[in-house]
Amino acid sequence: MKKLTSPGKFSVILVILCLATLWILPMWRIDMRAPQYPGGLTMQIWLNDIKGDVDIVNGLNHYIGMHSIRKQDFAEFIYLPAMMLIFMGLGILVLVTNRKAAYYTWAGIFMAIGLFSFFDFYKWEYNYGHNLDPMAPIKVPGMSFQPPLIGYKKLLNFEILSQPDIAGWFYISAGVLLVLFCFYEWKKNRKEII
Amino acid sequence: MKNINYFLFGLCITASFAGCKMKNTESAVSGDAAAKAYVAPGKYDEFYNFVSGGFSGNVVVYGLPSGRLIKEIPVFSVFPENGYGYSEETKPMLNTTAGFIPWDDQHHLELSQTNGEYDGRWLFANANNTPRVARIDLKTFKTMEILQIPNSAGNHSSPFITENTEYVVAGTRFSVPLGDQDVPISSFKKNFKSTISFIAVDKNTGRMNLAFQIALPGMNLDLSHAGKGVSHDWFFFSSYNTEQAYTLLEVNASQRDKDYIVALNWKKAEEFFKAGKGKKIQAKYAHNVYDEDKEKATSTIENEITMLDVKDLIAAQAIYMIPCPKSPHGCDIDPTGEYIVGSGKLAALIPVFSFSKIQGAIQNKQFEGDFYGIPVIKYEAALHGEVKKPGLGPLHTEFDGKGNAYTSMFLSSEVVKWSLKDLNVIDRSPTFYSTGHLMVPGGDSRKPYGKYLVAYNKITKDRYLPTGPELCQSAQLFDISGDKMELILDFPTIGEPHYGQACPASLIKDQSVKFYDINKNHSEFHTMGEKEAKVVRTGNRVDVYMTAIRSHLVPDNIEGVFVGDEVYFHVTNLEQDWDIPHGFAIKNNPGAELLVMPGETVTLKYLAEKQGITPFYCTDFCSALHQEMSGYLRVSPKGSNVPLKFGTNVIDSASEN
């Protein structure tokens, strides 16, 4: 079995460090603007919490029948950190076993987690925007309020921008690092054969 | 033929006389005045201008240079607009030894100072009619404290402060006998006294406390200012009616050529007070304090005050009278504290006294007799010089920090700019009409900000679109940054301004509270969430613990209240965001509404006098569904067995049909 290159091993440490930021910085941010909110409203999604103007957003959204966002309703805030910790532990295992195959598997697991997270976020947003309270005071026929997964969207009088926050960028960097180093390891592999 | 020519010629001459008119006082406003006074949409004014409301009883806030009205702060008058004086929590603020008084005449204002500079913490306001001094907190723009002044009447010479806000003074305009003695009015000279009260201010909390009073011979104390810098230890009061007239003052109080400026060494008076030299005398007065934490006001009646003996002050060389021409009004100290400007209402000159000369005169005993034992300093010995021919009827003087003084002239309806150094008139500008008070931002402090001057006028006439016989007062804003004063704006004012104070917006705007933290709400009647809303009966008293949040009230259906019950609606605004107040009003209530700020709890008392269904609702447009924010109160006959029931969205389908 092929061993990992030195830079490859170093990249494992880097990826783990990048993921560590998820505990100390916010992962995702949703910025909202409307004429009567001169400072704008912001919500920050952390690995294990949701912070920012959540109360104000809940207060506004109850008119159109959207459910309140409460930290305790999100199982994600428990199993996502757990999954990350396990993943980081697996990284140590990769270092110890020192095999390219382990590295490729590890990178693959990361992509799976990433895809699952985005799909889960999308599903939550879909539910949030479509599953409206039938007794809601304001009903706009045919209208749904699914926030954008990523990017800009206008919903009634609000402009919404959804994008990664600082730790989110580190997460994406980790992903990029993994892909790059997979190629690097593969290239180095071919060179050795020759 | 010739006769006709003469006749026609005569006609022409007569017709040309019609062209001889007196020039009216139209002043040309220069082209860039609009730009100087304009504050673009979305931008802030440079200065907060606090203006006394006079007979409205309130304090009004304008922005400068736009002249835009930003707020009316209720102080001494009930304010149905937000429930001040009507809610259970604020009614005690207007309590006095004569009971609840719903109005007063608010004349002067003073911003708190530290080292002679505005510090943006508090604003002090006086009440003229039922003598009181109020303190307004500038973080919330709310009246936090009102202290009644005993042994006083016509609290005009008030509320002026020492450079570090150690004391606020209150001086009497209408001399009265101390206590409630019954004496003939004509015994004025013998029995009537003018008192000066010193109110100590706690430098951390701002809490006021009546430290001591001094009873002076009967006369009218008009205005006053504390010394600054070199004259820090002294306080100066203008007085008039030293003729000691008690009837037809218009004539009898204008007889003497000179009245006095009373110079009082307050530091020495403070020493006497601290050494226990004062006499304790019985005097009742109310002290009302709004507790920010418990969110309610409490009124306490105090019973005694400490009176210092003026004889002790005379012996300690702590009190003197300085002759000042013709019924002085303004008594203004320049930023260095060296010059004291006396403005005699009927005078045609402005005397400027020098503090160092006054000290010298005291040392060298240059006196010209005494006033009831108080030494009178020789006029020339105290005088720095006179501003000659400034105009007619000087009233107030303020300073720009560049060595210039500005005096308002009521009779000649103008503002006059003169130099402190050589006492020459530099510029004059008409005001429309008859200016009373004028104000330069920081103009009465050690550090004037200069730049603008506002003249507050007493006569409006044709300045604005007519509104029937009762007109607003007018104010003019001048740009004084150059050599000549430039009129840039004319704006109407509320009530009748007697005084103004302006400070840079930066001193206040960043500390301004946006909403109250509901977790710090320690009101006895708070409701910390919709689940805690309830209605409780204790005998005849029903307490409704209600919450308000967009867009519903909890409870909004209340049953089981009987005719004769005293219902207390304690409304807690659960919002925690900027500018989301809720209002509360109930039909047929002989009171007013409540305006409840986010995080606050306010109580409205309602007497259930008649049987029936009474609606209540939110009065402040809070949300798209504000119209739906309402409820019903069911008042049943006394003794009926309707159970106490309350809630929101409790549907009783059984009794719907």
Question: What average pLDDT does the segment B407-435 reach?
Answer: 94
- Closest chain A residue to B649 measured between Cα atoms? A135
**What is the tens place of the pLDDT at every residue in B175-194?**
999 988 899 999 999 999 99
Q: Is A69 on the interface with B (CB under 8 A)?
A: no
Instruction: Tell me if B446 sits within 8 A of B163, measured CB to CB.
Output: yes
Q: Can you tell me the distance from the alpha carbon of B613 to that of B6, in angstroms, rounded to the nearest whole number?
A: 90
pLDDT attached to residue B473: 96
Partners of residue B624 in chain A, C-beta under 8 Å: 63, 138
Partners of residue A137 in chain B, C-beta under 8 Å: 551, 625, 628
Nearest to A63 among B576, B577, B624 (CB): B624
**What is the tens place of the pLDDT at every residue in B587-617?**
999 999 999 999 999 999 999 999 999 999 9
A35-39, A184-188, B205-209, B345-349: which has the highest mean pLDDT? Answer: B205-209
pLDDT attached to residue A192: 58
Question: What average pLDDT does the segment A16-44 reach?
Answer: 92
- Closest chain B residue to A38 measured between Cα atoms? B42
- Closest chain A residue to B622 measured between Cα atoms? A60
Task: Quote the minimal CA–CA distance from A115 to chain B in Å.
Answer: 37
Is there a domain that residue A45 lies in?
yes
Task: Quote the minimal CA–CA distance from A35 to chain B in Å.
Answer: 12
Is there a domain that residue A74 lies in?
yes
Model confidence at B459, pLDDT cuts 50, 70, 90, reads very high
Q: Does residue B28 surpass a pLDDT of 50? A: yes
**What is the tens place of the pLDDT at every residue in A116-130?**
988 998 998 888 888
Probe site for chain A from B554, B575, B577 (most A CB atoms < 10 A) = B577
Task: Quote the minimal CA–CA distance from A44 to chain B in Å.
Answer: 18
- Closest chain A residue to B623 measured between Cα atoms? A60
Q: Is B646 helix (H, G, I), strand (E, B) or coil?
A: strand
Partners of residue B575 in chain A, C-beta under 8 Å: 59
For residue A179, what are the domain limits?
6-193
Which stretches of B16-156 are assigned E, i.e. beta strand?
Answer: 47-52, 58-64, 69-74, 95-96, 99-100, 106-114, 117-127, 132-137, 142-148
Q: Is A24 on the interface with B (CB under 8 A)?
A: no
Q: Does residue B631 surpass a pLDDT of 90? A: yes
Partners of residue A59 in chain B, C-beta under 8 Å: 549-550, 575, 577
Q: Does residue B483 surpass a pLDDT of 50? A: yes
- Burial label, B505 (beta-carbon count in 10 A; 0-12, 13-18, 19+): middle
Q: Is A91 helix (H, G, I), strand (E, B) or coil?
A: helix
pLDDT attached to residue B29: 76
Partners of residue B576 in chain A, C-beta under 8 Å: 55-56
Q: Does residue B391 surpass a pLDDT of 70? A: yes
Instruction: Tell me if B468 sits within 8 A of B461, measured CB to CB.
Output: no
Task: Quote the minimal CA–CA distance from A122 to chain B in Å.
Answer: 29
Task: Quote the minimal CA–CA distance from A60 to chain B in Å.
Answer: 9
Question: What average pLDDT does the segment B510-534 reach?
Answer: 96
- Using the beta-carbon criterion (under 8 Å), do B625 and A63 form an inter-chain contact? yes
pLDDT attached to residue A194: 47
Task: Quote the minimal CA–CA distance from B577 to chain A in Å.
Answer: 7
Cα A175 to Cα A64, A114, B648, distances in angstroms: 38, 8, 52
Q: Is A73 on the interface with B (CB under 8 A)?
A: no
Is there a domain that residue A153 lies in?
yes
H helix or E strand, kind and range, residue A11: helix A6-20
| CATH number of the domain that residue A150 is part of | 1.20.140
Task: Quote the minimal CA–CA distance from B549 to chain A in Å.
Answer: 9
Partners of residue A63 in chain B, C-beta under 8 Å: 550-551, 623-625
Probe site for chain B from A63, A140, A158 (most B CB atoms < 10 A) = A63
Model confidence at B499, pLDDT cuts 50, 70, 90, reads very high
Task: Quote the minimal CA–CA distance from A133 to chain B in Å.
Answer: 15
- Using the beta-carbon criterion (under 8 Å), do A59 and B575 form an inter-chain contact? yes
Chain B interface, Cβ < 8 Å to A: 549-551, 575-577, 623-625, 628
Nearest to A56 among B577, B624, B628 (CB): B577
Alpha helices per DSSP H over B73-116: none
Number of separate domains in chain A: 1
The share of chain B scoring above pLDDT 70, in percent, equals: 97
Q: Does residue B228 surpass a pLDDT of 70? A: yes
Instruction: Tell me if B93 sits within 8 A of B146, measured CB to CB.
Output: yes
pLDDT attached to residue B12: 67
Average confidence score pLDDT of chain B: 94
Probe site for chain A from B550, B648, B651 (most A CB atoms < 10 A) = B550
- Using the beta-carbon criterion (under 8 Å), do B577 and A137 form an inter-chain contact? no
- Using the beta-carbon criterion (under 8 Å), do A55 and B624 form an inter-chain contact? no
A87 φ/ψ angles, rounded to the nearest 5 degrees: -60, -45
Model confidence at B541, pLDDT cuts 50, 70, 90, reads very high
- Closest chain B residue to A62 measured between Cα atoms? B550
Nearest to B625 among A55, A56, A137 (CB): A137
Q: Is A23 helix (H, G, I), strand (E, B) or coil?
A: helix
Q: Is A40 on the interface with B (CB under 8 A)?
A: no
Partners of residue A156 in chain B, C-beta under 8 Å: none
List, in order of start, the domains of chain B with CATH numbers: 48-76+83-173+193-246+268-509 (2.130.10.10), 518-656 (2.60.40.420)
- Closest chain B residue to A136 measured between Cα atoms? B625
Task: Quote the minimal CA–CA distance from A141 to chain B in Å.
Answer: 18
Question: What average pLDDT does the segment B368-395 reach?
Answer: 94
- Closest chain A residue to B628 measured between Cα atoms? A137
Is there a domain that residue A1 lies in?
no
Is there a domain that residue A144 lies in?
yes
Nearest to A55 among B550, B551, B576 (CB): B576
- Closest chain A residue to B625 measured between Cα atoms? A137
- Closest chain A residue to B42 measured between Cα atoms? A38
**Three-state SS sequence of A112-157:** HHHHHHHHHHHHHHHHHHHCCCCCCCCCCCCCCCCCCCCEEEEECC
Task: Quote the minimal CA–CA distance from A165 to chain B in Å.
Answer: 24
- Using the beta-carbon criterion (under 8 Å), do A138 and B624 form an inter-chain contact? yes
Question: What average pLDDT does the segment B269-288 reach?
Answer: 95
- Burial label, A151 (beta-carbon count in 10 A; 0-12, 13-18, 19+): exposed
Question: What average pLDDT does the segment A140-166 reach?
Answer: 88
pLDDT attached to residue B479: 96
Window A:116-175, CB contacts with B under 8 Å? 137-138
Model confidence at A132, pLDDT cuts 50, 70, 90, reads confident
Partners of residue A55 in chain B, C-beta under 8 Å: 576-577
Q: B347, B327, B330: which is closest to B260 by C-alpha?
A: B327
- Closest chain B residue to A137 measured between Cα atoms? B625
Question: What average pLDDT does the segment B550-567 reach?
Answer: 96
Probe site for chain B from A53, A56, A61, A64 (most B CB atoms < 10 A) = A56
Q: Can you tell me the distance from the alpha carbon of B549 to that of B626, in angstroms, rounded to the nearest whole number?
A: 10
Is there a domain that residue A148 lies in?
yes
Nearest to A59 among B550, B625, B628 (CB): B550
- The model carries a pTM of 0.90
Say how many CB pairs under 8 Å bridge A and B.
18
- Using the beta-carbon criterion (under 8 Å), do B624 and A56 form an inter-chain contact? no
Which stretches of B363-522 are assigned E, i.e. beta strand?
Answer: 367-371, 374-377, 383-388, 394-399, 404-409, 414-419, 425-430, 435-439, 452-457, 473-479, 486-493, 500-504
With a threshold of 0.85, tell me whether the complex ipTM lies above it. Answer: no
Q: Which residues of B63-100 are buried (b: 16+ CB within 10 A; e: fewer)?
A: bbbbbeeeebbbbbbbbeebbbbbbbbbbbbbbbeeee
Q: Is A56 on the interface with B (CB under 8 A)?
A: yes
Q: Does residue A60 surpass a pLDDT of 60? A: yes
**What is the tens place of the pLDDT at every residue in A70-109?**
888 888 899 899 999 999 999 999 888 888 888 899 999 9
- Using the beta-carbon criterion (under 8 Å), do B551 and A137 form an inter-chain contact? yes
